[in-house]
Chains A and B, each alone.
Chain A
């Protein structure tokens, strides 16, 4: 069971520069815990106070996870997860 996770430039220091890594998990929450095992520190960049960070976007098969259950979004083998930091400012 493998899910491809696309990593944005700013987080590639956690993946030895890799643009994509494989991870496992039946939900986004479990997937992020699994990512943390192999790429320590990455979870804190994605999650704050038990929820996705406001300015981090995660997509499962082209859909923003905020519309499909957030951290509880279900995943299955072959899904593609994309992480993109928001482009925002004041």
Chain B
């Protein structure tokens, strides 16, 4: 199950709507091993495409360096689909390389850049296996246990 706070959820949705019709992408970093998505980092889609996304290689390096320095990992890796449902494509599955991450898919196909509900779904993708999981949106993440 993915537990995510309302502000982060809204931030991901706003990013997806803003970048529509291109795919939006980013991560939510959190302390290593905590499973807490705490820090939303919007990334530029270097592919600038309605059907593909890719973090720019230099941005990717900076992101991982920063997470490393902060003892963080990508708890959520998100991107949008702008014409299809919020389900991982074959390319998404083939390229998924963070077995510990929640892969969040947002679909903006219904309302595009405009207000209105979006599909927001989360998956684990490990060794080519996709498992959908429940998404629970909370006002605030529970206090850290340590």
Contacts and interface: CB of A to CB of B under 8 A. Distances in A.
Interface of A: 8-10, 55, 57, 59, 62, 64, 66, 82, 84-90
Interface residues of B, number: 29
Contacts of A62: 61, 65
28 contacts: A9-B97, A9-B99, A10-B97, A55-B95, A57-B60, A64-B57, A64-B58, A66-B57, A84-B60, A84-B61, A85-B97, A86-B54, A86-B55, A86-B95, A86-B97, A87-B43, A87-B55, A88-B55, A88-B95, A89-B52, A89-B79, A89-B91, A89-B96, A90-B51, A90-B52, A90-B53, A90-B91, A90-B92
Given A9-B98, A9-B100, A90-B90, 16 more contacts: A9-B73, A9-B97, A9-B99, A10-B97, A55-B95, A57-B60, A57-B61, A84-B61, A86-B54, A86-B95, A88-B91, A89-B53, A89-B92, A89-B96, A90-B51, A90-B53
Given A84-B61, A89-B88, A8 B52 contact: no
Interface string B23-51: 00101000000000000000100010001
A59 B43 CA distance: 19
A28 B97 CA distance: 22
Nearest to B43: A87
B89 interface: yes
B4 interface: no
A63 to B, nearest CB: 9
Contacts of B60: 57, 84, 86-87
Interface in B77-130: 77, 79, 88-92, 95-100
